[in-house]
Amino acid sequence: MIARKKKACANPECAADFIPAQLGQKVCGWACGLAIKDVNQEKARKSLALVERREIKVRKEKLKSRAEYAKEAQAVINRYVRLRDAHLGCISCDKPASWGGQWHCSHFRSVGAAPHIRYNLWNMHRSCSICNNHLSGNIAGYRPKLIEKIGQAKVDWLECNQDIVRHDIAYLKRIKAVFTKKCRKFERRLAA
């Protein structure tokens, strides 16, 4: 059997050296354990609260629907597109990057019309709130600038693509994780 090393008692009033009888023993006896019980109770309470919060988070994650995962993934990828195109102006009109209004992530083909390419980066570009909300994307200005930005072949592919795709939860989680990481890299680069 391995000889155990002496430890100092965790009770600040005692501080006697003792050889622990069990692994993890911090006090020399019951009296010292009862003397510091309040300190240990607070640590135990915090630890239990942390475990409980983690369990609640896991349960909430299990209750999420595919639509909620899609909404979260869309929000992250929209943020990425706004960061990616931060140096560019509006894709649809002539507003410069220095415009002081709100910026959106605009889809060339709308999410409702083409849900299968809603996460395709060729289909998503930074746009001013006026073009995106009030002018329904301002497609008349969007298309020529998109051809200039990504090329005619890619625009033709976007317009002709009629695939049927249903994004599963695992794919949506992966998109959210990948683009969250990319957003952090962009934000660090912009901050430097």
- Dihedral (Cα; 41, 47, 53, 55), 10-degree rounding: -110
Q: What is the mean pLDDT of residues 1-5?
A: 72
Indicate the residue type of 24. G
Q: Average pLDDT of the chain? A: 90
Residue given tokens 């869309």 in the structure block? 74
Mean pLDDT to the nearest integer, 139-158: 93
DSSP state of 122: G
pLDDT at res. 1: 54
Average pLDDT over residues 19-41: 84
Which has more confidence, 43 or 129?
129
Its pTM stands at: 0.71
pLDDT in tens, 95-128: 888 888 899 999 999 998 899 999 999 999 999 9
Give 164's pLDDT tier (boundaries 50, 70, 90): confident
Q: What is the mean pLDDT of residues 168-183?
A: 96
pLDDT digit string, tens, across residues 64-102: 999 999 999 999 999 999 999 989 989 999 888 888 889
Q: Are 125 and 106 in contact (CB under 8 A)?
A: yes
pLDDT score for 13: 87
What pLDDT was estimated at residue 2? 67
Higher pLDDT, 7 or 181: 181
- Tell which residue, 176, 108, 97, has the closest CA to residue 141: 108
**DSSP calls for 89-106:** --SSS---TT--S-EEEE
Question: Do residues 66 and 173 make contact, with C-beta atoms less than 8 angstroms apart?
Answer: no
DSSP state of 126: E
- Beta-carbon contacts of residue 52 (< 8 Å; ≥ 6 apart): none
Q: What is the pLDDT of residue 145?
A: 93
